[in-house]
Amino acid sequence: MAQLFKLARRNIWRNKRRTIITVCSILFAVFFATFMKSMQKGTWDNVVNSVVSNFFGFAQIHENGYWEDLSLNKSMEYNAELKNLADSDENIQDLVPRLESFALGSHDIKTKGVVVIGIDPVKENKLTNLADKIIQGKYFGEESKGAIIASGLADYLKLTVGDTLVMIGQGFRGLNAAGKYLVEGMVEFGSPELNNGMVYLPLDQAQYLYGAEGRITNLIVDTDKPKKIKETVSSLKNTLGSEKYEVMDWEELIPDLVSARQMDTAGGTIFLNILYLLISFGIFGTLLMMLKERQYEFGVLLSIGMKKWQIFIMLWFETIVLAFIGVLAGILLAMPLIYYMFANPVALTGDMASAYDSFGIEAVVTAAFESGIFIQQGIVIFVIVTLLSLYPFFKIRSLHPVKAMR
Amino acid sequence: MANNIVIETKGLHKTYDESKVPVHAVRGVDIKITEGEFTAIVGPSGSGKSTLLNIIGGLDQPSEGSIIIDGQDLSKLKPNQLIDFRKNNIGFVFQSYNLIPVLTAKENVEFVMLLQNRNEKERSERTKELLDAVGLSDKYDVRPTELSGGQQQRVAVARALAPKPKFILADEPTANLDSTSTRNLLDIMARLNQEENITFVFSTHDQRVIERARRVISVEDGKVESDIIK
C-alpha cells in the first residue's frame, strides 16, 4: 500500500499542467461555494438579527394561547416565578416584560388605531436600544408617567413633545380603558408599520390604563447566545411546563421571516448545485484525460503483475490527494476574503438601502465567518471528487493489457 | 534439466473478429520450448509473431488450443490468478522499454518484487545484483528519462529478471536501439542465458538478434514455417 501511495504521489507531479487544472477546479469550487454560502448566511443573519433584536427578541413567554389571540384576556400574572426565571438558564441574560394591546389614539380632531406597549424602561432599552431611536424629547426616566410615540404617528396626529395624547380602548376582561398622556419623547423606526402606530408607556402606566395591574402579555428572552436559543426554549418549557405558559422561539413568532429565508436559501442551494455540477464536469474531464493519456502505462503495469484493484487504488490516492490540496487551498483562499466581508460589511445605497430601511433592517451586505460553512462546503466538494474518482474503477475493470498497449 | 519443457503450445489459434472480417493471426501453432533456450520467433510485420508472444505471456487468450507454462494450463486460471502467475513466472521486455517513469532504475527493478511481497533485504540484494549484471551499477537512483534507450532497455531486462521468472519474453527488444546498444544488450542476455541458464524468447525481425539466437522459429501468416536449431 505504501508503494502505491508513493507511486500516486510521484504521478501527481508528473503532468504538472493536469495537476494544476484539477487542483484549481477544486479550489475554485470550494472558494465560490464557501463565499456564496457565507454571504447568504451573513446577510440573512443580519436581517434576522435586525428584526429579532429590534423588537421580537429571540424567544418569548406568554400565557398559553396568547400569540394566537393577541388578547389582553390571555395576559399573565407577572409573578415571582416569572421574575426569577432568568436564573434558571445560564444562556438567559434577562427577561423583559411587556404589556401589549391596542387603543384609539387621539389628538385634536385626529384619531388613529395604535399599538400600546407597556415597558420596563431599563430592561427594554437593554434589549432593543429604544433610547437610541429617540429623535425628539427624552427617553423614560424613573418617574415617567407619559408616553413615547413613533414619529409617523406623531405626524398623523399632529403631535409633538409636550402635547397630550388621549387613548381609549378595551381593558382586561372588558373594562373600559381611557387615559391621557404627556408626550415625553418621539422615536423613529425604519419599518413604516412600526413607525405609524407605536405608543410606549411605562409598564405600570399601561397596566393601570388596561386595568391589568401586575399583569403582562409578553416576557421577552434577552440572550447573548442566540445560537443556543433552541436549548434555552427547551429548558424554559421544562421549567414552566406546558399547561399555563407557551414558550416560542423567534422562528415560531415570525414564521413569515423563516419562510422568506427558506425561499432564498433554496434559491441559493439550486445555484450551488449548478456550481457543483459544473465543477464536477471539469474534474471529470481531467479524469478522462488522465485515463486516456495513461492507458498504455496501465497495460504495462497489468502485464508485469499489478492487479487491477492496485491500479485503481493508486489512481484513487492521486485524486484524493489532489482533492485534499484543492479543498485546503480553496478554504485558505476564501477565508481572508470572507473575514474581510464579515469585519467590513458593505453598506447598500439607493433603492436597495431604502427597502432595507423600510423594514428596520440595517442596509448592509455582510458575510458569516463560521467554521461550519468551511467544513461543510469542504466536505461536499471532497465527497463529489471522491465519488468522481470511482469512475476510473469501471474503466480499469474492463482494461485488457494487449488492447491498452496498442 | 535441458529437457525440462517450459513453454508448450497445442493447436494454438487466434482469430480477431475486427470489423466483421475475421483476421486469423495465429493458425494452429504447436511449439515446445525447453529451459535454457535462446529462441527467436521471426517473421515479417503482420505474420502473427507478436500475437503468439502475447498468448505465450498470458496477456491474450487463444481462440482455440492451449498454452501450458511449466505444467500449468493458462486457460484454467482466473484473471487474478493469471496476473499472479505472470508476475511470478514470466518476465517481459517491451520494444519501448516501458519503465515506470516516476520510479528510479533501482525502484523499477524492485517494483515487481514489492508486488511479490519480498522482504527489503532480499529486494535490495537482488536489485543490486541485477543492475550490476546489466552494467548499470552507477545508475541506481536515476529516473528513466535521464537514461539512454540502451540503458533503459537494460533496466527493463533487470526488471524482467527480478521476480526470478521461468523465462523472459522480449517483444522486439532491439527495435529502438542503435547498433552499439543492441550489441551490449544481446551480450548481456546471452551471458545471462549461458551463465544462469535463463530462458529467453524474442519476437524480432532484427538480423542481429537472429544471428545470436540458438533456435529460430519462423512464422508466416500465423503458421510456423520453419524451426531451426543451430
Cβ–Cβ under 8 Å, residues B213 and B230: yes
Q: In the prediction, which pLDDT does A378 show?
A: 87
Residue A57 lies in a domain: no
Q: Which of chain B's residues have a Cβ under 8 Å away from the Cβ of A302?
A: 83
A229 and A361 in a single domain? The answer is no
Mean pLDDT of chain A: 90
Least CB–CB distance from B102: residue in A11, A300, A402: A11
Is residue A237 domain-shared with residue A372, that is, in the same domain?
Answer: no
* Domain extent at residue B122: 5-229
Q: Are residues A46 and A85 in the same domain?
A: no
Q: How would you write the pLDDT of chain B (230 residues) with one tens digit per residue?
A: 446 889 999 999 999 876 678 888 899 999 999 999 999 999 988 888 889 999 999 999 999 999 999 889 998 999 889 999 998 999 998 888 889 888 899 999 998 898 888 898 999 999 998 898 888 888 899 999 999 888 998 899 889 988 888 889 999 888 888 888 888 888 888 888 888 788 999 998 888 889 889 999 999 999 999 999 87
Low-confidence ranges of chain A (pLDDT < 50): none
SS3 content of chain B, % helix, strand, coil (to 5): 40, 30, 35
C-alpha cell at B185: 544488450
Range of the domain at A380: 2-52+257-404
The CATH number of residue B222's host domain is: 3.40.50.300
pLDDT at B1: 43
Does B206 contact chain A (CB < 8 Å)?
Answer: no
Q: Which three cell numbers stand for residue A23?
A: 487542483
How many Cβ pairs closer than 8 A exist between chain A and B?
Answer: 48
- B135: its cell numbers: 552494467
- Shared domain check, A141 and A86: yes
Q: Phi and psi dihedrals of A65, rounded to 5?
A: 90, -5
Q: Say whether both A32 and A145 belong to one domain.
A: no
Residues A212 and A86 grouped into a single domain: yes
A60 in a domain, yes or no?
A: no
The answer to whether A306 contacts B100, with C-beta atoms less than 8 Å apart, is no
In terms of domains, do A264 and A124 share one?
A: no
Residues of B in contact with A14 (CB under 8 A): 101-102
In a domain, A58, yes or no: no
Does residue A59 lie in a domain region?
no
Q: Is residue A247 part of a domain?
A: no
Structural domain contains residue A152: yes
Q: What distance in Å separates the CA atoms of residue A215 and residue A184, rounded to the nearest whole number?
A: 24
Residues 104-123 of B with CB under 8 A from A: 111-112, 114-116
Tell me how far apart the alpha carbons of residues A20 and A61 are, in angstroms, rounded to a whole number. Answer: 57
- Test the A interface: residue of B18, B86, B96, B100 with most A CBs within 10 Å: B100
Q: Is the CB of B85 inside 8 Å of chain A's CB atoms? A: no
What does the pLDDT read at residue B18?
65
Residue that terminates a domain, selected from A190, A206, A241 = A241
pLDDT of residue B3: 63
Q: Is A304 within 8 Å of B84 when comparing Cβ atoms?
A: no
- How many domains are contained in chain B? 1
B61 — contact with chain A (CB < 8 Å)?
Answer: no
Q: Which residue in chain B is spatially nearest to A403 when comparing CA positions?
A: B60
Q: Provide the shortest C-alpha distance from residue B28 to chain A (in Å).
A: 21
How is residue A305 annotated by DSSP? Answer: T
**Number of domains comprising chain A:** 2
Which amino acid, residue A328? L
CA distance B230 to chain A (A): 31
CB nearest A305 (choices: B87, B98, B100): B87
A48 and A71, same domain (yes or no): no
Domain boundary among A214, A241, A268: A241
Same domain, A170 and A284: no
